Structure 1
């Protein structure tokens, strides 16, 4: 038998190797266009295929009609010249010793981000920025994978890395998309759950590994990687969303329960909170909850006020879909959801936003302007288009993607003034010689205008502690300061809070000397649309819990507490009360321990003790909701009239609230521990017989049960009432 001789096919020719400059830049992570070198490209004689796979022992290009081994060119480069006019969609089979994997070649794909998106990003006008930047699972050119995009205009190069490449991004360089400053790479085969970061080459050639500023999910701290995610929650709150904007918020009942989610019931997840929080808030009658910041933050002790992941709800309590589940449950219980939003500053963590691409990017270029003097953090550069866009789109993101009903904007005063907490020589006046930060003003105006335009029914609320003119004025109406209004819907009334707490902490015998602290708020009550806040800030850091601020023995403290809440709910403005204060816990709030729920155990307290005060808060909210006089004309002087603002010697305040039809509610507060019999209250003519609808001294609330009777009939010189000690009484026409 004659043996046959088998002819081996000739190995494919090698294409021209990458230039030394291309090789050096790719290995150093400084190449702006890796797709021009890697992948498949027509060349004289066929198609050149190049791959960069450090540590690989072999790389093969695979098509539907065959496969070809690539030559090893050293330093992780592989190549082959295929003698064909064009190369169809191809995959790479990569061997690392005995481990072999096959994937689509990421460098055969066109950019997965359109020119219009890039134009809007560069102009700072992309109102849905999260759909353009970050990690987006998608099908691109018929292939499933994830598009990674990041804004890093100072970077010499950017690579994506993660668990999928053992955190070595050498093989995954991104391309620069023109002058936009955006870098992009579509990585086939990657999907939800992938951990990733960006390996950025700074202008000086050094590298920094950064979490994605646009990440929509992050690892549980102290881990810091970003996580690829996509939304799957199916909303069931269509009825709520369709009617939440039916009545302007300043003319609607608005009673807020402020919550720190991580400590309300320590250890509960978003989904577990959804089983308990809506029922509790609904039982107490609050119209809204306000969540202290939920955006991702590395240090739990900041309570969320030092944010690193502006687009990611904290993973400590679950996934983004889990957070949506909680909001959905609150909406289905008829409860609105407000969220603390923190655009005033960000922390200096070297894996987050600070000097993100090796230069001042999100922070101001001037070191004095960049450094926040109070918190050791950095201030945003509101004058930069892309930074302003990052924040405006973030406000829209929470409202559109998570159905948030309102944003309480933290530390607005620190944004508005160039000299905020700075001494002479530490700040530079604006172009007009003033101390206003013109860029911050323009940012806040744009944010408010954009949110109100895009998200009907949403309200924005300013925590602003100065006398800035026009915080809640529309942006197109110029005020006394020469600026258009900032455009907020509501503003925290810090003056009312400070004055009223100062008054109530005095012994009753001294209160007559501070009587004006309870009446002065009406001098400016209609200058803005106000919220009356007893927030977390007032019950921490040695300030004591609300009931512990009060003078006297335990009974008097609780009575003062009840009388104060009755006054607060009746005063023009909306209400906000921090958790734990609704049942008068005596200890300051602890972010680790949460509210002292055990105080309401039947075995611990009498029915009228802590549980009595909780019942009062429930009844305050119930009476409040059913009494339009308490909310319908909150921002109109016609909705309020003093009966007697000058009874300081008696520690008594009396006034009337009116609804839009003129129906009155009479309010009398006795901040003295003395029962005042046959006390004259000169109510306006025509009010008629009044019915007592709320008395904070009632026995079921833990009071002494003193009352002037259910019905009170005016006499020729006004009402003759018995005023309970340390109590507020509400009366309306019988």
Structure 2
């Protein structure tokens, strides 16, 4: 049994260094606090500033009373003792003996391999070692539960953990520096899931700043800004979905995306309620995927999630991380994929978050010509710094790994690719070759995409990219960016401009409908009618259309049928399927009452029918990205505002599309067909059940040997006003 010795002394420490430790400002507190071998025994130093008496309880049953040394630091030696498990018994004058674990008796929770990978910028599961992690350690005196904290802050003079566990006074919980890695670490016994915390960082200038954890996996509900210790207990039920996903290629499958802002789809719903109501609605309307505007935590709801402060935490506005897992699981159970918006292009300047994290430009590029995005009032990541690149790559992988996400849509890619993006002469600095390309950002995107596709087969990486940058969906092995899909912003702008014209003027703008086919197969495209097109004075999709209400709705129906049949995948922002008249606002729910109006219910039902037929017809998606999947019948009938074309599946089977953007119905319209035989209508946007005028076609239309549109056979059909019809061979 160890015995207290009044003659043996703990290792000598200067008064100045003891003062630093007591103030929580020492870079290596474990070298002074805790248990340390001395000649003839074990020396102990414990920081308990408000104690009246402190005793060490050793694993062999010994009691080692400590004396007050300086500034709340207590010290003593156990003669003949060994450096094993121990506890600290503390009296505060309240008549209670408080038995506590000492945070300074534990080894680092990061190993040498972890630190090496962090330094190299190659730790693909960075979230497993940085941040806050509940740990349980066995011990002779009993098991210990607590939280291991670790943070990257290479320019800090000192770092300490503050939170509920220490009444937001971090002087008793200063962290140790793990050398050149720039990582600081501390295991704090007794801190468990649900505890709020921040890191208090002393910068090079000596000032202390409280910062949220960059790797936090949960947060307080905004506007509060603390990080929250969390521990998942979720048991996934989507094994069959994940197995099937890994064996398939979504890029050659049907992809019809419903874009959703969770806070305003139906206000007041949390993740759990959405797992019922949103899932039922998306299943009813037939979309293959939902795409969620960023769920990563963000302080300002009006940013719609595009100003992220926590890249590893789903927003707490709607529930816990496990409740978000439940939402994803429920969507998978319903056969619906989940895509998340991800924002690596920039981050906000909020003082509690990533900005000037350790008192210096750390996550942001130090040169304002590269490190600030003036348009958005944000900082730009230092894409060339290995640890920052690692942080971003790990963030992308985190959502795919921990939340079973099926794809990431990367926001504002154009702003990353070009150093002169939205900058005047003299406001940007060229790359090392004198060019305008941001080579480091390009490298980041390539690494993220290549790593994501390697680790998670069956997912999609999607670029919101609005320029003609070559090879966005080209393989990284050939110098491409490695995305699977790219938003076709050109198609979106051209076609919306076209349909906003009165039909009598559309003939002069016909090229805006057809130009996309000039470049349709240069990338793997997704056609987006996104949230950006129904805000800031742009008007809803319905309000872009000319004419009275019937004509507006008919225009929308025809436009969506054209979109669903055009080469490429498609995305529609929530509310467009209702024929919303008002612009979208994040501050209110969609106008669900419109479904009580037959005309608007008809549009909703048409979207469901588009999705149903689309999924049944591989002609519309199996060969989306090559010219063999598309053939014009007549793309030049501008005088009648008409288009006709064929879509084909991988075997060459055709589907005929005729779209009429004129209010005139054509009762005996002849169109050349690629194959003779009986054709049947599988979709007509003018059906009365969609609130159309009923200009539809009989069950079968038999082709005749009459040359038309340069083809030997043709068929006569009815073409609806402001409508579209899809036809397939009767035996298919």
TM-score scaled by structure 1?
0.95
C-alpha displacement of 1:387? 0.3
| Separation (CA, whole Å) in 2 of partners of 1:488 and 1:16 | 58
Q: Does 1:694 align with 2:683?
A: yes
Q: Could you say what secondary structure the match of 2:134 adopts?
A: strand
Q: Does 1:681 align with 2:682?
A: no
Moved more, 60-69 or 500-509: 60-69
Q: For residue 111 of structure 1, what is the aligned residue in structure 2?
A: 108
| Separation (CA, whole Å) in 2 of partners of 1:137 and 1:378 | 32
Q: For residue 488 of structure 2, what is the aligned residue in structure 1?
A: 493
2:460–2:484 CA contact under 8 A, matched in 1: yes
State the Cα deviation string for residues 653-695 of structure 1 (Å, max 9, x = none). Answer: 11011111221111001101111222221223x2322111111
When residues 712 and 209 of structure 1 are mapped into structure 2, their CA distance, relative to the original with a 3 A threshold, is same
Q: Does 1:387 align with 2:398?
A: no
Q: For residue 598 of structure 1, what is the aligned residue in structure 2?
A: 593
Moved more, 247-256 or 93-102: 93-102
Q: Could you say what secondary structure the match of 2:586 adopts?
A: coil
Q: Does 1:74 align with 2:74?
A: no
After superposition, residues 273-422 of structure 1 pair within 5 angstroms as 273-422=274-423
Q: For residue 255 of structure 2, what is the aligned residue in structure 1?
A: 254
Q: Does 1:18 align with 2:19?
A: no
Q: Which of the numbers 634, 641, 656 marks the counterpart of 1:651?
A: 641
2:246–2:456 CA contact under 8 A, matched in 1: no
When residues 100 and 553 of structure 1 are mapped into structure 2, their CA distance, relative to the original with a 3 A threshold, is farther
| Separation (CA, whole Å) in 2 of partners of 1:227 and 1:56 | 29
C-alpha displacement of 1:574? 0.3
1:585–1:596 CA contact under 8 A, matched in 2: yes
Q: For residue 45 of structure 2, what is the aligned residue in structure 1?
A: 50
2:163–2:197 CA contact under 8 A, matched in 1: yes
| Separation (CA, whole Å) in 2 of partners of 1:344 and 1:565 | 31
| Separation (CA, whole Å) in 2 of partners of 1:78 and 1:85 | 18
C-alpha displacement of 1:56? 2.9
| Separation (CA, whole Å) in 1 of partners of 2:185 and 2:584 | 46
| Separation (CA, whole Å) in 1 of partners of 2:349 and 2:427 | 20
After superposition, residues 506-585 of structure 1 pair within 5 angstroms as 506-585=501-580
| Separation (CA, whole Å) in 2 of partners of 1:683 and 1:676 | 17
Q: Does 1:182 align with 2:183?
A: yes
Q: Could you say what secondary structure the match of 2:476 adopts?
A: coil
Q: Which of the numbers 84, 95, 116 marks the counterpart of 2:91?
A: 95
C-alpha displacement of 1:17? 5.4
Q: For residue 711 of structure 2, what is the aligned residue in structure 1?
A: none
Q: For residue 706 of structure 1, what is the aligned residue in structure 2?
A: 695
Q: Which of the numbers 721, 727, 730 marks the counterpart of 1:725?
A: 721
2:42–2:77 CA contact under 8 A, matched in 1: yes
Q: Could you say what secondary structure the match of 1:196 adopts?
A: strand
State the Cα deviation string for residues 412-447 of structure 1 (Å, max 9, x = none). Answer: 000000000001101111111110000000000000
Q: Which of the numbers 121, 124, 131 marks the counterpart of 2:118?
A: 121
C-alpha displacement of 1:73? 2.4
C-alpha displacement of 1:14? 5.7
1:61–1:90 CA contact under 8 A, matched in 2: yes
2:218–2:313 CA contact under 8 A, matched in 1: yes
1:664–1:687 CA contact under 8 A, matched in 2: no
Q: For residue 710 of structure 2, what is the aligned residue in structure 1?
A: none
| Separation (CA, whole Å) in 2 of partners of 1:106 and 1:414 | 45
2:8–2:40 CA contact under 8 A, matched in 1: no
1:154–1:203 CA contact under 8 A, matched in 2: yes
C-alpha displacement of 1:87? 4.1
Q: Does 1:626 align with 2:616?
A: yes
Q: Does 1:83 align with 2:79?
A: yes
TM-score scaled by structure 2?
0.96
C-alpha displacement of 1:492? 0.3
Q: Could you say what secondary structure the match of 2:150 adopts?
A: strand
C-alpha displacement of 1:45? 4.6
Q: Does 1:587 align with 2:582?
A: yes
1:54–1:170 CA contact under 8 A, matched in 2: no
| Separation (CA, whole Å) in 2 of partners of 1:42 and 1:630 | 74
Q: For residue 632 of structure 2, what is the aligned residue in structure 1?
A: 642
Q: Could you say what secondary structure the match of 2:257 adopts?
A: strand
| Separation (CA, whole Å) in 1 of partners of 2:368 and 2:89 | 50
When residues 687 and 529 of structure 1 are mapped into structure 2, their CA distance, relative to the original with a 3 A threshold, is farther
2:369–2:429 CA contact under 8 A, matched in 1: no
Structure 1 residue runs of 5 or longer lacking an equivalent are: 1-8, 478-483
| Separation (CA, whole Å) in 2 of partners of 1:383 and 1:136 | 28
1:12–1:80 CA contact under 8 A, matched in 2: no
2:162–2:199 CA contact under 8 A, matched in 1: yes
Q: Does 1:662 align with 2:652?
A: yes
CA RMSD, 1 decimal: 1.5
